[in-house]
Amino acid sequence: MALKDITLGQYFPGNSILHRLDPRTKLLLTVAYIAALFLAGGTAAYLLLLAVLGAAIAVSHVGIRSILRGMRPVVVIVVLTGVLNLFYTPGEGDPLVRFWVFRIYAEGIYAAIFMVLRILMLITCTFLLTYTTSPIRLTDGLENLMGPLKKLGAPVHELAMMMSIALRFIPTLIEETDKIMSAQKARGADFDTGNLVQKAQALVPLLVPLFISAFRRADELAVAMECRCYHGGEGRTRLRQLRYGRNDVLFLLGGAALVALVAALGFFGL
């Protein structure tokens, strides 16, 4: 897996209907879709959610290749989750496969398939959120949605700003790590051979220059923000005001209908 395959936090500029939606709408739709995923309990519900996700990918114009490339870093976690559900899900009757202390039941196969599918769909919907929304717009939408928490004294603007900076610097730190690895390889370092422990030990020399680079960038960012008279969220204005449009209302109604329909399918065991 190459570091360039990690696409979390990247934004793909475009003019699709998903790109034009209000960031608050996309945040609420993402939450609604995740809630529907956890409410889904049968084949019909998962097929419905899969069809909705496929339609969202199609209208976003991001491309299925970008989605699949972003999935590569989590393949190990997904496979491990599927294997654990496969072997440790109890079932009724005789097991389909029996070896050593392991038993595989039909219920285990069912649980593994749907758990893997749920994780992949959850990751894909969050990818679509970051792929179609710039970090600044995402910050504005998140801050606006968390606005009521200001009355409780919560530092809403600071939390949204920290999340925006974190998302913005994920691709930057990945690029920096790739440069450091290339420099280390040019000096004879080997990151590709050996067992898992040896590979982990080989990565230790990367940590010191990476941390130094991260702290340097953080200091430069702090100085730049101070030079621009940044003092938090008090009295700040925005270049683009957030406004709900007709498409936002339609998508929000569609998201609410999706959650209700999935809940109804789960109630009937479908």
Please give the Cα distance from 213 to 180 (Å, whole number).
10
Helix ranges, the chain (H): 17-20, 23-39, 43-60, 64-71, 75-88, 106-131, 135-145, 156-186, 196-202, 204-227, 246-267
Question: Which pair of tokens denotes residue 28?
Answer: 């609420």
- Render 213-269 in DSSP notation, one character per residue: HHHHHHHHHHHHHHHTT---STT---SS-----HHHHHHHHHHHHHHHHHHHHHHTT
pLDDT in the model for residue 32: 92
pLDDT in the model for residue 256: 92
pLDDT in the model for residue 257: 92
pLDDT in the model for residue 1: 47
pLDDT in the model for residue 154: 77
pTM: 0.76
Whether residue 53 contacts residue 124, with contact meaning beta carbons closer than 8 Å, is answered with yes
Number of domains in the chain: 1
Rg (CA), the chain: 22
Please give the Cα distance from 179 to 210 (Å, whole number).
10
pLDDT in the model for residue 8: 60
pLDDT by 10-residue block (mean), the chain, 270 residues: 56 84 90 89 86 89 80 80 79 71 77 86 87 82 80 77 76 78 75 68 76 84 81 66 84 91 82
Q: Which domain holds residue 122?
A: 3-267
